[in-house]
Amino acid sequence: MSDSPISSQTLSGETLADFVNRLGSTAIAPGSGAAGAVALALAAACMAKAFAISYHHTSASGLREAADHARGFAIIALEYAQRDGDDFRQWLESHSAPAAEALRQDSHKLFGLSSVLKELLATHREAVIPPLTADLGAALDFISAFEAIETRNNSELAAN
């Protein structure tokens, strides 16, 4: 099980502080879709922590692998945060059907990832030690935030 940190090179080499500053700026991208994808990455990271520490204390079957999967899903979500920002910028510049379709595909992939994360959490929830159940609750809250943001963005995209 790898405990290596996610590279700060994700999101075009920005630190989290850089990402937040750009998100709150007048820059076209990143936007709320990228922020939602980051929320999904945070959900996966919270799950990875809960699974990894619980495995360390209990050696419960499947937790080590679940932690590794969750870490991988966090990286995928961050990659989609970057992709969403790039695709959003393209859509704002062109309002073309292909650019809108790219955003829809990003959304579809991220919703699929949120479903996988919820299933992973449900499968391993009972094996997580009590002091880390709040991490699982936070993961669910981050997933819900992603889903709300992405649903709103999809509605806006459909209206344009």
pLDDT digits (tens, 9 = 90+) for 78-101: 999 999 999 999 999 999 999 999
Structure tokens at 53: 């520490």
Nearest to 39 by CA among 111, 121, 126: 111
pTM (2 d.p.): 0.91
Q: Helix, strand, or coil here: 159?
A: helix
Tell me if 151 sits within 8 A of 107, measured CB to CB.
no
Instruction: Measure the CA–CA gap between 118 and 115, rounded to whole angstroms.
Output: 5
**pLDDT tens-digit series, residues 27-72:** 988 999 999 999 999 999 999 999 999 999 999 999 999 999 999 9
Tell me if 88 sits within 8 A of 28, measured CB to CB.
yes
pLDDT of residue 11: 67
- Domain positions in the chain are 47-159
- Phi and psi angles of residue 75, each rounded to the nearest 5 degrees, phi first: -65, -45
CB under 8 A, 24+ apart: contacts of 128-131: 128/50, 128/51, 128/54, 128/63, 129/53, 129/54, 129/57, 129/58
